Amino acid sequence: MGLFDISIKKELPSTLSKQEFLEELKTSLIQDKEYETKLDKSSLEIEKLHLDTLLKYNCKITLDKQKKATSFHLEGQLHDTLVLTILIILAILLTYGIGVVLVILYTYLQKKKATKFINEILDKYETIKKSN
């Protein structure tokens, strides 16, 4: 895991099957856009996904169903590392290194925004399932 990669582990109530939950999560993450997806029995992989950010992440979501709860694990690897490398090199050359701080801060804030987006989706799912 890199510094700007996303990792979320959470316990969710097990009201739906793994396949149904992954289908619902896929539709809420993709939001009418075209992404490469791979859906298995207990995992979902989405390539170059915008998690309400400008940066792209390669996300892998796995579920492990237990008796009382479902263990949710998301790993999001930052895809735009080449773009960030070029921006850092330009920031060093053009701003004598001060711009590097801005690029790193921007990337860190994008990571926080993506994490918050995923947690909001999971919280909505939990509240909907608890009310039913």
- CA–CA dist 62, 43 (Å, integer): 4
CA-to-CA distance for 110 and 87, rounded, in angstroms? Answer: 15
For residue 77, give both structure tokens: 């690897």
Confidence (pTM): 0.84
User: Domain segments of the chain: what residues?
Assistant: 6-131
* pLDDT of 70: 78
Query: Six-digit token pair at 111?
Result: 């990571």
User: What is the residue-level pLDDT of the chain in tens, covering all 132 positions?
Assistant: 678 899 999 887 766 677 777 888 888 888 878 888 898 888 899 999 988 889 999 999 998 877 677 788 999 999 988 989 999 999 999 998 899 999 999 999 999 999 999 999 888 877 766 666
Instruction: Report how far residue 120's alpha carbon sits from residue 132's, in angstroms, rounded to the nearest whole number.
Output: 19
